[in-house]
Amino acid sequence: MAVYLVGLLTLLETSQVAAVDGAESPLVAGFDRFIRQQVLPSEVGGRLLLSELSCTACHRSSRPELAPKRGPNLAGVSRRLHTEWLQRFLLNPQKVKPGTTMPGMLHSLAAGERPQVARALAAFLATLPVEQPLKLLSTGSAPLANAFWSKGDEQRGRRLFHRVGCVACHQVDADYQSEKVYLSDREKRLAELKFDPEERQELEAVDAPQPFRSVPLGRLSAKYGEQSLTYFLLDPLGVRPAGRMPNLQLEPAEAADIATFLLRGDSREVIWREPSVPDLVARGERWFRALNCAQCHPLAGIVPRPARVLEMLSVDAAESCLAEAQQGLPDFPLDSVQREALRVVLQRRQPGQDTAVKVDRSISITAKLLKLNCFACHERNGMGGVGPRRWPFFETFNHVELGDEGRIPPSLTGVGRKLLVPWMQDVLAGQARVRFHLMARMPRFGKANLGDLANQFATVDRGNLSRGKERPLGGPSEVSAGRTLLDQGCVQCHPLRGEWLPGVMGVDLADLQRRLRPEWFRAFLLDPAALKRGTRMPTFFPQGKSVNRQLLEGDVERQIASIWEYLKTIQDQPLPEKLVTGKALNFDLEPRKRPIVLRTFMERAGTHAIAVGFPARVHVAFDAHQVRVVEAWRGKFLNAHGTWFDRFVPPARPLGDPPVLFPQGVPLAVLENATAAWPSETGALAGYRFGGYRLDRQGVPTFLYRTPQLRVEERFVPLDGGRGLRRLLKMTPFDSKYAEREPVQVWLRLATGRALQSQGPDGYQIDGRWTVRLPGLTQAQRGQIRQVGEQWEWIVPLKVNATMMLQASYQW
């Protein structure tokens, strides 16, 4: 690169002038940046112009890399553009939009005739069928305001324009201040540099990205209406299939904002004045054919006239597009550098000379990156990258401090060595995004325009590796060791499966396997800076030794292989411990000083569950629908995430030890006699009515309910040391006067189980698991143990003639 700069210094004078004068020559960003500034040879520039100026649309070439860019799709143009603008543009493209690659087509007509032709062409174009416009639906997950294109906001549009990547190619608004990027003095000076290689050398900045002129926009408010510009921004490839204006994947509202900004508030509906007078339309069509417009703007039913094939062109021909504007030929106001570049390439292109030239893949990559102006954002092998003046407008989401890596699109040097081909294809198709912290978005260029770029990257970059430089992952791996290593390092900066530690913002590592080649992963972990200049990724293996000498005996290869292996199966693995803890911290309920009550859905306690967790680490769940206590457990209480924040409200699960289960059915029932079956109905069907609860000073709830005969208050408190629960029942007959004479006779079912074993006069052990006691019972009051099918149950008869209190204990 430097060689060119030094060697061609003599040419600088003229090219400088040309560049400045070039204001009215067609602007091709790659040419401006690399050929004009002597980074790449003229021949590359010539080839670039052949495609970008669509020379090869008329002068066909068999070489795919010279395929013409061509112009916009003209269907629907009358809906998109103001007719007045279109006619002016046809009359003098460079004047209306300085830098446009559209050649003048009417210059060879008599001056008086030109407006008539422009008018006729416009009238003809208005008759073209309008293609189905982009269909935008407003849905719940992607809401869209009514007539959203009319609701753009200029300030917001301005911010988006400068943030999402528009200014990688287009002119920065002089009044716009980037919010948070601080430039060093050197960077500031670089930004002020013009196109002077000498000055660049003085600053030792030969390698710094070269500046380039911005891709022109023209006065957009004269051209578009707010709706048409918004729709264009949403689907530029629909109008301009060549992908030079890529799709930035804007939300509809964002497109409206940017359109409002670009129109500077001068928004109106598209004004199309030309009436479709049949005669005028017919004349327009004749002119469209005569001027051979269809070469660049293909239209169904119009076959353009062929021109001399590229290889047959002579640089010195008297009649030529390269010469001054001539009758019947398009007028390209090329400057001297552009002319020279075309001359060079056409001279080398004499018949027979280059048919045997095999296109070098790396040249083909460069050509593609030049055409699509990928270099505007991406550096590759020392070329291109965000230019110094545009540098401040690349930002990190919320200005989280991640360094330049967190705001500048990544380098493409060695990208084929790093990424797997399918992933590159997804990225290029705009379907893959991992750097959510970058405000600039990777746009979509259209599949046809990208060709086989991903495979070309892979072939070239992997072919460049000298043998032995890359090693596969080695050594037997251990997934759990990988998890530990991630926990010690990676999660400090990287999210994993959408979980992250507080404040962390970076690339999620969960789908690493879909993206990276394992060989690159290994090399990167060993020496990140060697593969990624200026990265913040630290090495955990300084001098090739692991900082963790214990795990897998500090075997570096095995450690790296284990990290890879863990990430490979991460969907089925527990997250690293720090993330698990962090996650639980948010939603695991841990009663500390007071009980915690949670109404939720539970598997056993149902959809009316009320769970009570005690600091003594023993907990209970009540079903307010069946009106009964359902289960109790020890250990951890519940996780509230599903209840509090999950739209699909999954049931909350007891987190601790397996729960003990209270009898199904109502707790109190009237039985005909001691052998009558316990009623199967519960809740309202059994005449029960839940009445809510009261909290005492300590926050312990007392459940309130009614049976058909009694008002009941029921509460649970932990036994000492959390060994179980004490159950307190307070029962009052509705009709206390009557009950004084005729007590309410009900049975209380205390326990059911497959095996009940007597534990003294007042208790039983159930299924060998827990012991239920009703202290203070005499043998007579002890009630019945009876068998029902496979089950045993303990029922106690109660005679309630006034308020009655009972205390049972459940211990396990």
The reply to whether 580 sits near other proteins by the rule CB under 8 A is no
The reply to whether 647 sits near other proteins by the rule CB under 8 A is yes
Sign of CA dihedral 111, 116, 119, 121: negative
Q: Please pick, from the candidates 6, 7, 131, 138, the single residue that binds other proteins as defined by CB under 8 A.
A: 138
Q: Please pick, from the candidates 64, 351, 498, 544, the single residue that binds other proteins as defined by CB under 8 A.
A: 498
Nearer to other proteins, 351 or 498 (CB): 498
Q: Please pick, from the candidates 601, 615, 670, 803, the single residue that binds other proteins as defined by CB under 8 A.
A: 601
The reply to whether 716 sits near other proteins by the rule CB under 8 A is no
The reply to whether 738 sits near other proteins by the rule CB under 8 A is no
The reply to whether 643 sits near other proteins by the rule CB under 8 A is yes
The reply to whether 649 sits near other proteins by the rule CB under 8 A is yes
* Cα 529 to Cα 533: distance, rounded to the nearest angstrom: 5
Size of the site for other proteins (CB under 8 A): 55
Q: List alpha helices for 2-128, DSSP H.
A: 2-7, 12-21, 29-30, 42-52, 55-58, 77-80, 83-91, 93-96, 114-126
* Cα 400 to Cα 692: distance, rounded to the nearest angstrom: 48
Stretch that binds other proteins, among 376-384, 396-404, 406-414, 743-751 (CB under 8 A): 396-404
Q: How far is CA 152 from the centre of its chain?
A: 23
Q: Please pick, from the candidates 575, 610, 739, 800, the single residue that binds other proteins as defined by CB under 8 A.
A: 610
The reply to whether 171 sits near other proteins by the rule CB under 8 A is no
The reply to whether 152 sits near other proteins by the rule CB under 8 A is yes
Q: List alpha helices for 137-243, DSSP H.
A: 154-163, 185-192, 197-202, 220-223, 226-234, 236-239
**Rounded to the nearest whole angstrom, what is the least distance from the CB of residue 586 to other proteins in the complex?**
8
Taking alpha carbons only, the member of 500, 482, 506 closest to residue 578 is 500
**Rounded to the nearest whole angstrom, what is the least distance from the CB of residue 409 to other proteins in the complex?**
21
The one-letter code for the residue type at 155 is: Q
The reply to whether 431 sits near other proteins by the rule CB under 8 A is no
**Rounded to the nearest whole angstrom, what is the least distance from the CB of residue 481 to other proteins in the complex?**
27
Q: How far is CA 162 from the centre of its chain?
A: 19
Nearer to other proteins, 598 or 808 (CB): 598
Contact 606, 625 (CB under 8 A): yes
Nearer to other proteins, 148 or 633 (CB): 148
DSSP 8-state secondary structure symbol assigned to residue 35: I
The reply to whether 624 sits near other proteins by the rule CB under 8 A is yes
Stretch that binds other proteins, among 242-250, 296-304, 475-483, 599-607 (CB under 8 A): 599-607
**Rounded to the nearest whole angstrom, what is the least distance from the CB of residue 689 to other proteins in the complex?**
8
Cα–Cα distances (Å) from 7 to 3, 11, 42, 47, 383, in that order, read 6, 9, 13, 22, 18
Contact 122, 86 (CB under 8 A): yes
First to last CA, the chain: 81
Residue 641 host element (H or E): helix 641-644
In this structure, what token pair is assigned to residue 663?
A: 């009898």
**Rounded to the nearest whole angstrom, what is the least distance from the CB of residue 557 to other proteins in the complex?**
34
The reply to whether 685 sits near other proteins by the rule CB under 8 A is no
Residue 706 host element (H or E): strand 701-706
Nearer to other proteins, 497 or 726 (CB): 497
The reply to whether 505 sits near other proteins by the rule CB under 8 A is yes
* Cα 440 to Cα 167: distance, rounded to the nearest angstrom: 10
Contact 781, 796 (CB under 8 A): yes
Stretch that binds other proteins, among 45-53, 286-294, 601-609, 667-675 (CB under 8 A): 601-609
Nearer to other proteins, 646 or 740 (CB): 646
Nearer to other proteins, 694 or 799 (CB): 694
Nearer to other proteins, 94 or 600 (CB): 600
- Strand segments, DSSP code E, in 255-411 are 379-380, 383-384
Q: Mark 150-159 as b/e (b = at least 16 C-beta within 10 Å).
A: eebebebbbb
Nearer to other proteins, 400 or 429 (CB): 400
**Rounded to the nearest whole angstrom, what is the least distance from the CB of residue 560 to other proteins in the complex?**
28
Nearer to other proteins, 476 or 692 (CB): 692
**Rounded to the nearest whole angstrom, what is the least distance from the CB of residue 505 to other proteins in the complex?**
8
Q: Please pick, from the candidates 692, 760, 768, 775, the single residue that binds other proteins as defined by CB under 8 A.
A: 692
The reply to whether 594 sits near other proteins by the rule CB under 8 A is no
Q: Please pick, from the candidates 357, 448, 677, 684, the single residue that binds other proteins as defined by CB under 8 A.
A: 684
The reply to whether 2 sits near other proteins by the rule CB under 8 A is no
Nearer to other proteins, 541 or 703 (CB): 703
The reply to whether 697 sits near other proteins by the rule CB under 8 A is yes
The reply to whether 532 sits near other proteins by the rule CB under 8 A is no
Beta partners for residue 191, in sequence order: none
Nearer to other proteins, 136 or 183 (CB): 136
**CB count in 10 Å sphere of residue 803:** 14
The reply to whether 134 sits near other proteins by the rule CB under 8 A is no
* Cα 370 to Cα 99: distance, rounded to the nearest angstrom: 17
For 257: left if phi > 0, alpha if psi spans -120 to 50, otherwise beta; the answer is: alpha
Q: Please pick, from the candidates 2, 11, 142, 580, the single residue that binds other proteins as defined by CB under 8 A.
A: 142
The reply to whether 175 sits near other proteins by the rule CB under 8 A is no
Cα–Cα distances (Å) from 644 to 127, 586, 640, in that order, read 58, 11, 6
The reply to whether 253 sits near other proteins by the rule CB under 8 A is yes
Q: Please pick, from the candidates 258, 598, 669, 712, the single residue that binds other proteins as defined by CB under 8 A.
A: 598
The reply to whether 406 sits near other proteins by the rule CB under 8 A is no
Stretch that binds other proteins, among 32-40, 116-124, 278-286, 648-656 (CB under 8 A): 648-656
Cα–Cα distances (Å) from 622 to 230, 679, 721, in that order, read 57, 19, 22
**Rounded to the nearest whole angstrom, what is the least distance from the CB of residue 44 to other proteins in the complex?**
42
Q: Please pick, from the candidates 608, 723, 782, 786, the single residue that binds other proteins as defined by CB under 8 A.
A: 608
Q: Mark 353-376 as b/e (b = at least 16 C-beta within 10 Å).
A: eeeeeeeeebebbbbbbbbbbbbb
**Rounded to the nearest whole angstrom, what is the least distance from the CB of residue 196 to other proteins in the complex?**
37
The reply to whether 651 sits near other proteins by the rule CB under 8 A is yes
Show the 3-state SS of 247-277.
Answer: ECCCCHHHHHHHHHHHHCCCCCCCCCCCCCC
Taking alpha carbons only, the member of 428, 427, 423 closest to residue 446 is 428
The reply to whether 249 sits near other proteins by the rule CB under 8 A is no
Stretch that binds other proteins, among 43-51, 142-150, 377-385, 786-794 (CB under 8 A): 142-150
Sheet holding 744-753, edge to edge: 668-669, 744-753, 791-800, 784-788
Contact 108, 328 (CB under 8 A): yes
The reply to whether 199 sits near other proteins by the rule CB under 8 A is no
The reply to whether 690 sits near other proteins by the rule CB under 8 A is yes
Residues that bind other proteins (CB under 8 A): 138, 140-146, 150-153, 155-156, 159, 179, 253, 257, 398-400, 498-499, 502-503, 505, 586, 596-601, 607-608, 610, 624-625, 643-645, 647-649, 651, 684, 690-697, 704
